[in-house]
Amino acid sequence: MLRPLGPGGDGRYLPAAYDHRLDEPVPPAHQRATPDAVVLFDGVFLLRPELRDHWDVTLYLHAAPEVTVRRALTRDLEVFGSAATVEQRYRHRYLPGQELYRGEARPLERADIVLDMDDPLDPAVLKWPE
């Protein structure tokens, strides 16, 4: 996806490849970006070393682990079926993965902009380019 949308690319892209809620692939439906398009990538783990050099500007939205779990208990309850399953998934899979990512990729240090999103109605700017 990065090469076609980068310098010298043909602009073709897939708006989606996988539906995480249904846990299945999405049928391919290629589209073409306009030459003046701005591409925004939203996702976790995007400041990994193998991806880091592809971004012109990076923004890291930080939230404390307990805040993440609290939000998941509301947002993901229907997806996972029960509060116990949500809690288990986050505490045994997602939070350890995020901790590993923060330790290896160091997004708090490497991102151009860092916002503390514990309170999304009042985000705190932790880092902003001068």
Alpha-carbon distance of 5 to 120, in angstroms, equals 31
Residue type, 21: R
> pLDDT tens across 23-75, in order?
899 998 999 999 888 888 888 899 999 999 889 999 999 999 999 999 999 99
Strand order in the sheet with 113-116: 59-62, 113-116, 124-127
Indicate the pTM of the whole model: 0.79
